[in-house]
Chain A
Amino acid sequence: MTSTDGRPHPETPPITPAASPPPHVAQERPDLSSVTETLQAIESNIRQVVAGKPEVARLAVIALLAEGHLLIEDVPGVGKTMLARALARSIDCSVSRVQFTPDLLPSDVTGMTVYSQESGGFSFRPGPVFANIVLGDEINRAGPKTQSSLLESMEERTVTIDGTTHELAQPFMVIATQNPIELEGTFALPEAQRDRFLMRISIGYPHQDDELEILRTHGRGDPLAALDPVCDAAAIAAAIKLIRTVHVSEAIERYVIAVCRATRSHPETELGASPRASLALLRASRAYAAVLGRDYVVPDDVKAMAPHVLPHRLLLIPDAELAGHQPADVVADVLDGVPAPTEPTPAASTSSA
């Protein structure tokens, strides 16, 4: 919903002077200029191939920096795969791609132990999951068993095969796409699995002018081929580390919790946002603040991220679904209802000293 409504995302520019830290913020102030630069480079790269969707490009980067996985859900042909590949291409890191089909086996994803005639012994052959960025195309076409093998590795960032645990690369990000309208021969992701994606985004049809541009750029050949990596895995890992230091005040924590709790008590939800959702929302907000060059989270960050982080985790009651309500509506409703903090301690009394 968010990317198609045409409304600009609230962008909060940084507050200028960054000389000495205020006394009550204990940790070192991160210098976020590198993060911002990296982000802008990746964004401009992506924009070369996905025309007219800057916010989608940004969300993808945020998911990466927030150590999350991205689920792109949209109709075929709007550039899901192109977005994923452009992101992967922009970073000088290992990329693998898995085309999910009904007959795909878990070992096709994670890898397997094979007998080598040359060495005369068994050796582990890593699957496509052993890469920094894993593109899982049409993830809902694979059977549940294969899906869950991927999803488990997403959560634990390790793969266990034949009793041996293998660490995955750092950073590790799964970008999965799925097609919502093709029902035949698909295995919809269960809610529990969807929860493992940091955010779900949709791309939406491009604007008329953008579509024209697509025709032209793609007409000249594969635009991806022209993309050069703008940073490497180490830079991303450093950025992720920096983002963990972005300051979150108590008021923001309380606000995040209040939003998530509100989804649980909303009359139209059967299943609300889990504590994992709260964590995800906060991580996304941190990354969002960081890519804007801000070293602290404001309520606007939470509000900007919630529509991407929360809806795919909600399960509506049948009545609401029948009435045509979407989880995104519930999230919007919740954001309208939860008081946003404007002061460090929202519950502080206003009485005079």
Chain B
Amino acid sequence: MSGQDLLRGMLVALVVLSTITAYDRIFQTGDWRLPALTAALAAIVIAMVVRGLGGGGLIAALASAIGFTALVPVLAGIVPRPSLPDAALRAEVLERISQGVVELEITPAPAPLLAGIVLFLVAGFWVVTHVAHELLVRWSQTGAALAVLAVLWAVPLIVPVSDTSWQLRAVPFIAAAGLTLLLTTEHRLPRLGLAATGAMMAALAIMTAATAPGLLPGFQSDAWYGLGAGSSAPRGYQPIVDVSTRLQQPEEREVLRVRSSQRTYLRLAGLDTFDGFTWRLGPASDGSYRPDPSTLFPTQDLLPPEVPAQATEPVFVDVEVLDLANIYVPVPYQPVQILGPFRDEMVWSTDGGFLATWDTEDGQLAQDGPRVGVREGFTYRVQAERPVPTREQLLDTQVDDATLERFTQLPREYPELAALAEDIYADADATSTIDRTLALQEWFTGPGGDFTYDLEVPALRGDDALERFIIEDRVGYCEYFAAGMATMLRATGIPARVATGFLPGEVVGTPDDSELTEYSVSTSDAHAWVEVLFPGFGWITFEPTPRSDGTQIQPRADELSPLENERERRARELAEDADSLEDTPVPDSPELDGPERPDALEGDDAPDAEGAAGAGDDGNTTTLVVLVLLVAAVGATVLLLRRRDVVRSGGDPRERILADQQRVYAAAARYGVARRPNETSVELARRWRREHRVGRDAERFAHITQAAAFGGHVDASLAEESAQLAGELTAALRDSVDPTTRRTSALRGPWLRARQRGRDLVGAGRD
């Protein structure tokens, strides 16, 4: 393999690496890098090896396809090790593809590394890298290769994400692309004078990068709608998806710092529509959700309640956003008043009961809809009225028909779930709405349902996914439980919805100057739960998730709005049991099982999470190291090639002198003083001299080049002299033409070449 091939292969790798910053913005963590960059590297290595062995483009494509088939499923995590493609793998891949399509549609950026997306990512990196390598190395089509790589780079950039640092995203790619152009112009390594073309292209790239954000829809402006206008794909921000993605983040990070008078769930929104797959805001038929303006209220005044509620107690919460990009503002339910510097950016929706960030003009809502306003440094104070009814109060509430109709809608019948729910109600002897709800909650969290909490489960897919989860699998996380319980409630005529938000978080301390307790809310506190409507008392929170760490707050018949979480409650009950009863606890009772389970799971989970976080950090460092190494390798190859160039020219400086001549002639052509075809080198030099463009050295240069061209003796010192003369000559020619010609000369070269090629073609055709 020639040094040039190696250099170009490395340049492709460098440009691919430079897209890291672009992809980083659409992924929550750096986990995507390992599979994607491994795929790119594998593609380059295979293409290079084929090229090195002298294989043609077709063979390279075949080899790459074989490698693709073997490695991509592994990198995408479909199979643990390379295996021959069989029917099972094919089915798995097809399923992954359809899953990926759905994930791409519904997952807002920044996204976690979902199973389907990773397949697309790996496959895309592989294919693009192979094509770019072949274009650049095999066919020397620098421009085309960069165009392909630019597509790879641009894909993540057109995904709407609140992100203002486009320069940072763009600079690595432009730098890598510019370097590629510089190092691949002509077929020799450029000397300084030839940097002009590369610089020109780089300037063009920067210009494009500077103007493109304004031209591309969705780029840098936060699209409420997706890119494809009229597309039916739901592109709006569906908070439910956020829950799962946040929970699946391997490295836990703190998203909120909360000072609160009471422990409270921080709620983002109530999802009142079930489309058969997910619970979401707004009608299922709409691609994206747009609330009715009449339900939106500015936050300057007291907020009208979503549902008027009696029996409430006030909650005061100060929230500081640390790391959360969202349009929904986490607040305790239901908020009454918002204070703080950012309150003008918020709007309260009584439909779904959520607080969202919205652009406002003079206190009025702007037309363009909400945007990702919750961000680092976003602070606000909320006063909320927490519903604290008693079971007895809720026993005789009545829901009017219209409301009942709306909040018991389901996309289809769920007869099995309804039957199961009725059985549970019957077993618990529950007749009222509140009793039935509590019974169902108990079934989900207690031994009745025997559910297992686990984040590592496939996404709910397929029409009967919910039934599978509730009746067969019984493994899932909060989203599954909330969706399952809400669906079962609705199927049995109880107005319910899924709420999404955050658990209260971990107590980090009590500041001296405040009566408020400080909580730290992290990504692992993302949560979904169930709300049931009790007219006159509001939407009451229920908790069907048997979360292993026990940080959830579960209402009980005797205390519908407890302040202690499950862990504390179990610990208290255990202590009470031990103290008062001196009974040996029943080994397999849930109360005893409880405290052990979180511990055991924590023991398992914590090292895992730490390991993942460590790996993530390592991944970052590794990427950086690889990037630096690659740059160093490119530099070393350049130097090596140059030195080899010099060494070679010591033996045969002929080539070098002739290349000098070519360069001078090319420059002359650009400056409009080209050699006439009938002119010999010496005649040309004399003409230039007659035209007062150059000095005597021009003839000396001509003589040297003639010696090199026609069998005279040339040696290294002569080559050195020719290089120097060529530089001086080019400069002299450049100075001899008027500035306009000089400025347009960079364009004239390609134009002249193109014209010459055209003529050659015509000539060939005529022959």
The 9 closest A-B pairs by CB, nearest first: A352-B187, A339-B677, A247-B711, A296-B711, A15-B707, A299-B680, A340-B680, A298-B706, A353-B187
Which one of A12, A22, A300, A339 lies within 8 Å of B711 (CB-CB)?
A22
Q: Which residues of A contact B706 (CB under 8 A)?
A: 12, 15, 298-300, 342
Residues of A within 8 A of B680 (CB): 298-300, 303, 340, 342
Cβ-based interface call for B326 (8 A): no
Asked if residues A344 and B4 are in contact (CB atoms below 8 Å), the reply is: no
| A-facing residues in B645-686 (Cβ within 8 Å) | 651-652, 654, 658, 661-662, 665, 675, 677-683, 686
Distance between Cα atoms of A342 and B680 in the complex (Å): 6
Docked complex Cα distance between A344 and B297 (Å): 83
**Complex Cα gap A335–B679 (Å):** 9
20 pairs from A and B in contact (CB 8 Å cutoff): A10-B682, A10-B686, A12-B703, A15-B703, A17-B715, A19-B715, A20-B713, A22-B652, A22-B654, A22-B714, A29-B713, A299-B681, A299-B706, A300-B680, A337-B678, A340-B678, A340-B680, A342-B680, A342-B681, A353-B4
- Give Cα distance in the complex from A20 to B681, angstroms: 25
The distance in angstroms between the C-alpha atoms of A252 and B680, with both chains bound, is 11
Is B712 an interface residue, CB under 8 A from the partner?
yes
- In chain B, what residue has the closest Cβ to A295? B712
> Which of A294, A298, A352 has most B Cβ within 10 Å?
A298
Residues of A within 8 A of B707 (CB): 15, 296
Quick one: which of B661, B682, B709 contacts A12, CB cutoff 8 A?
Answer: B682
Docked pose: A18 CA to B187 CA in angstroms:
31
Which B residues are in CB contact (< 8 Å) with A300?
680, 682-683, 706
Chain A 18-43: CB-based contact to B (< 8 A → 1; otherwise 0): 11111111000100000000000000
Residue of B nearest to A349 (CB): B760
Interface assignment of B717: CB less than 8 Å from any CB of chain A? yes
Residues of A contacting B140 in the complex (Cβ-Cβ under 8 angstroms): 352-353
Is A297's CB within 8 Å of the partner chain B?
A: yes
- Are A340 and B711 closer than 8 Å at their CB atoms? no
Interface residues of B in 709-725 (CB under 8 A from A): 709-715, 717-718
CA A152 to CA B4, docked complex, whole Å: 61
Residue of B nearest to A353 (CB): B187
Q: How far in angstroms is the closest Cβ of chain B from A246?
A: 9
Determine if B186 is an interface residue (Cβ-Cβ < 8 Å). Answer: yes
Residues of B within 8 A of A295 (CB): 712-713
State which size class the interface on A falls in. 35 or more
Q: Tell me whether chain A's interface is mostly helix, strand or loop, or mixed.
A: loop
The answer to the question of B705 belonging to the interface, with a C-beta cut-off of 8 Å to chain A, is: yes
Least Cβ–Cβ distance between A250 and chain B, in angstroms: 9
Does B71 touch A at the CB level, under 8 Å?
no
Known A12-B682, A17-B717, A352-B140; contact A251-B710, beta-carbon cutoff 8 A: yes
Contact yes or no, A335 B678, CB < 8 A: yes
List, in ascending order, chain A residues with CB within 8 A of B705's CB: 342
- Binary interface encoding of chain A residues 190-231 relative to chain B, with 1 for a CB under 8 A from any of its CBs, else 0: 000000000000000000000000000000000000000000
Interface status of B60 (Cβ within 8 A of chain A): no
Identity of the chain A residue whose Cβ is nearest the Cβ of B718 in the assembled complex = A17
A-contacting residues, B623-656, CB 8 Å? 651-652, 654
Given contacts A23-B652, A337-B678, A342-B681, contact A298 B710 (CB under 8 A): yes
What chain B residues lie within 8 Å of A336 (beta carbons)?
Answer: 678
Complex: how many Å from CA A22 to CA B649?
A: 12
User: Which chain A residues (125-181) contact chain B, with CB distance < 8 Å?
Assistant: none
In the complex the two chains form, is A340's CB within 8 Å of B715's CB?
Answer: no
Task: Let me know if B704 is at the binding interface, CB within 8 A.
Answer: yes
Taking the nearest CB of chain A, how far is it from the CB of B28, in angstroms?
44
Most buried by A among B187, B677, B709: B709
Q: How far is it, in angstroms, between the C-alpha of A19 and the C-alpha of B717 when the chains are bound?
A: 12
Q: Please, what's the 1-or-0 string for A316-348, where 1 marks a CB less than 8 Å from any CB in chain B?
A: 000000000000000000011111111110000
Cα distance A295–B589 in the bound complex, in angstroms: 107
- Least distance between A39 CB and chain B CB atoms (Å): 19
CB distance from A221 to the nearest CB of B (A): 43
Cα-based distance from A289 to B682 in the complex (angstroms): 14
CB distance from A290 to the nearest CB of B (A): 13
Q: Is A249 interfacial (CB 8 A cutoff)?
A: yes
Known: A15-B704, A23-B652, A340-B677. A247 touches B683 (CB 8 A): no
The answer to whether B652 touches A249, judged by C-beta atoms less than 8 angstroms apart, is no
